[in-house]
Chains A and B, each alone.
Chain A
């Protein structure tokens, strides 16, 4: 699978599993789990630096930008203005021109505000950002995001952190057919089979955080996810057999007594 690389906006990605860095017990666990996942892209949040306790360590000491592609997000932003502010600050911090754009519409569901998302994406693309928009599984919205210049789209499988798996596989399939850019399924994965399924449907990559960080054994789950994404990808490329209602014998009748 090492030659099966994903390229977005001229950037080559080694792994089709992308991971978040939140919710871990500590930085050591974060580092070990991400290493076990084989992921190359790691998402990070943009926040105030702790100026009172300078002994607090820096996440990037554990996840070197030399080894990982750091993808800052605008998590926690509920309007266009905030999302733009966070994205610009992230870029100014100097690790990347990439941004995982989130404009959240509602606290309870954390569903994206897609109107705000398209508006913010348009502005950031014009400013030279490589925008990865966190969107819902609406194919039309995905098309609009591509129209404004997003080089990939990141539809949710289910609400963030819900672990419900892919709630609307048909929409996701339509979305994948509707856009001519890579599709990274983001949010809602609960376990390995969910990730495999997303890849079998034809997703180009899967992004997850809670499913790994929240598992009883995060490092083991990280490894499970690595294989799930591989297996799903290989099965997609291999092409599954059609579903049929009745049996088809695998063993020949010829030669029976």
Chain B
């Protein structure tokens, strides 16, 4: 099935969970927040939330930034 992760289309196995997606992407779950189709997925629900075809996933974290002029590193 196809999902979109951070704006990029990706082919992933059917029934993959948020947790397994993060692990496949080599992302530490403790440091990020995940939004699935514009709804925040609770950290405790990463394992229990399975992804469906066409889902839009955002994985966000923290970067260097002070204020609005500091967007680019």
Whether B30 lies near A92 (C-beta < 8 A) is no
Q: How large is the interface on B (under 10, 10 to 19, 20 to 34, 35 or more residues)?
A: 20 to 34
Give the dominant DSSP class at A's interface: mixed
B11 at the interface (CB under 8 A from A): no
A interface size (C-beta, 8 A) = 47
Q: Which of A20-28, A176-184, A231-239 contacts B (4 or more CB under 8 A)?
A: A20-28
B55 at the interface (CB under 8 A from A): no
Q: How far is the CB of B27 from chain A (nearest CB, A)?
A: 6
Do A209 and B70 contact each other (CB < 8 Å), given the known contacts A21-B64, A48-B60, A49-B59? yes
Q: Which residues of B contact A37 (CB under 8 A)?
A: none
A47 at the interface (CB under 8 A from B): yes
Q: Which residues of B contact A209 (CB under 8 A)?
A: 66-67, 70
A90 at the interface (CB under 8 A from B): yes
Whether B61 lies near A22 (C-beta < 8 A) is no
Q: 3 closest Cβ contacts across the A-B interface?
A: A20-B66, A22-B70, A45-B65
Q: Interface residues, chain B, CB within 8 Å of chain A?
A: 5-8, 25-28, 30-35, 40, 42-43, 58-71, 73
